[in-house]
Amino acid sequence: MKQNYFPYLFTLALAASNISTPALADGVVVDKVYHPYVLPNEREIEWRIIARETELGNLLSQRFGYGHSVTEYLTLEGYLIGARRGEADGPKYDGDFVLDGYEFEARLMLSDQGEYWADWGVIAEFEKKHNQSSYEVTSGLVFEKEIRRTSLTLNMFLVYEWGDKVNNEMETEFRAKYRYRWLPQFQPALELYTGQDYIGIGPAFMGIQRFNGQKQLKWEAGFITKLSNTGKDNSFRFALEYEF
């Protein structure tokens, strides 16, 4: 993609993130803030956990994923999604941890790191609920800009849901992270999430420990508080990713 296309894509995605859309009761806005980078021949194992404190009780979801880059710019990853929720979510859960769905993800790096004034990538995801004909397709634009010892990362997503027990609708989400690159192993940040009538903000931390060759271990944690007055929804997120 040519350089002069990037500002137009960014403006379009940012405008889309401000579209007002209906909210789902089980919608999860807080999740990973993606970076646009892909390493050649990388393989990765990932574990993500999101714990939410809501008016319906404490909700817990986890993702276990494996990914592999198929080119120096494209990586593919698959996830198993588990959930543990309360009785308010139906007899399927009843407080037990169960398989909730499957997800397939493709990430494409549009520019080499440092090639332009900012680094760019795109993401496409397909998710299916376990034992249900409920589906979700997500497409998004990823932006990252280094500013001296800090980094600004933006994610703009367009989400479409359809199927059983789901309203067929289009939604938008926006995620942002402003990070201080203090040490490779410890980098404090501030994260912002919007979408599905949700606005949340809070501190986050991430780090990376490099080993021989391409082997490295990444970790992330964040505490996100809902700002709006339409109900309690506070989240803790944690992720481990081993690349080799």
Range with the lowest mean pLDDT among 179-183, 214-218, 227-231?
A: 227-231
Angle at 183 between CA 116 and CA 144, to 5 degrees: 25
Q: What residue has token string 């760019």?
A: 120
Which are the contacts of 21, defined by CB distance < 8 A and separation ≥ 6? 169, 170, 171, 172, 195, 196
Give the residue-averaged pLDDT of 199-219. Answer: 95
Give the residue-averaged pLDDT of 151-159. Answer: 98
Assess whether pLDDT exceeds 60 at residue 17.
no
The conformational region for residue 183 under phi > 0 = left, psi -120 to 50 = alpha, else beta, is beta
pLDDT class of 103 with cuts at 50, 70, 90 = very high
pLDDT class of 84 with cuts at 50, 70, 90 = confident
> Secondary structure of 72-123 in the HEC alphabet?
CCEEEEEEEEEEECCHHHCCCCCCCEEEEEEEEEEEEECCCCCCCCCEEEEE
| β 198-210/187-195 pair status | antiparallel
Instruction: Please state the domain extents for the chain.
Output: 3-176
Rounded to whole angstroms, how far apart are CA atoms 211 and 45? 16
Q: What's the predicted TM-score (pTM) here?
A: 0.84
